[in-house]
């Protein structure tokens, strides 16, 4: 039973790859939207987390989390393209991530996209960490193709999300997320298709 984290340069295809890997392995995908929704719940507290841990029964942690949070009314990339900043205080957000992501990882058989999972779960022996990179032109093209944006919108989203990712890692006191030694595998998406990258990742994760 394992946990997979996928970090990426925005537009390299991390979420799309995560979907493929999760489907092939029968894992649950934990994407940014879920964590963003958690972060927007201002009343999330340690008491709430403790209450989740005390509950028993067959219902999974993820199901309980999803039952407590509001759905996003806009797609993540569409939201990113807007000028309004809609995120909670950075330190509070990191505290929440450090609390929630290990609880999600404890369920095993999950693929966690972004949100510093490679740092938060760095010491877990059952966690496998992957990084996707690609050049600027490739990432612009990927965003245009997969999210239906024109080039100007794609550039806006890429710039905004790249700056936001750097800011997030500064809250972790880390700006070195591209260091290859942090990961089991770094995938250059200029040279790999999504299916081939997914195959490499699935081969590295122990069979159940």
Range of the domain at 9: 3-204
For all residues of the chain together, what is the average pLDDT?
77
pLDDT of residue 36: 62
Give the separation between CA 87 and CA 47, rounded to whole angstroms.
22
User: pLDDT (tens digit, 9 = 90+) per residue, 152-183?
Assistant: 999 998 888 888 777 777 777 666 677 888 89
User: pLDDT (tens digit, 9 = 90+) per residue, 3-42?
Assistant: 999 999 888 999 999 999 999 999 989 886 666 656 555 4
Provide CB contacts within 8 A for 22, sequence distance 6+. 28, 29, 111
What total of structural domains would you count in the chain? 1
| Residue 198, SS3 per DSSP | helix
The CATH code of the domain that includes 156 is 3.40.50.300
Give the separation between CA 163 and CA 124, rounded to whole angstroms.
28
Vertex 30: Cα angle to 26 and 34 (nearest 5):
145
Task: Give this prediction's pTM.
Answer: 0.75
Give the dihedral sign, CA 200/141/115/34: negative
Give the separation between CA 127 and CA 191, rounded to whole angstroms.
25
* DSSP 8-state class, residue 189: T
pLDDT of residue 74: 43
């Amino acid at each position: 039973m394992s946990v997979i984290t996928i970090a990426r340069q925005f537009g390299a295809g991390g979420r799309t790859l995560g979907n493929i890997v999760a489907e092939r392995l029968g894992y649950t995908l934990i994407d940014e939207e879920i964590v963003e929704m958690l972060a927007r719940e201002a009343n999330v507290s340690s008491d709430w987390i403790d209450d989740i841990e005390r509950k028993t029964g067959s219902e999974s942690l993820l199901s309980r989390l999803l039952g407590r949070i509001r759905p996003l009314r806009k797609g993540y990339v569409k939201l990113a393209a807007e000028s309004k900043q809609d995120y909670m205080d950075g330190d509070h957000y990191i505290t929440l991530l450090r609390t929630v992501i290990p609880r999600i990882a404890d369920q095993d058989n999950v693929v966690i996209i972004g949100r510093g999972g490679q740092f938060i779960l760095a010491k877990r022996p059952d966690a496998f960490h992957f990084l996707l990179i690609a050049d600027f032109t490739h990432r612009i093209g990927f965003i245009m193709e997969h999210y239906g944006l024109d080039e100007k919108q794609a550039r806006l989203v890429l710039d905004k999300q790249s700056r936001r990712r750097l800011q997030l890692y500064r809250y972790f006191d880390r700006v070195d997320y591209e260091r290859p030694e942090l990961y089991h595998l770094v995938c250059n998406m200029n040279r790999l298709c999504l299916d081939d990258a997914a195959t490499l990742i699935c081969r590295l994760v122990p069979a159940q």
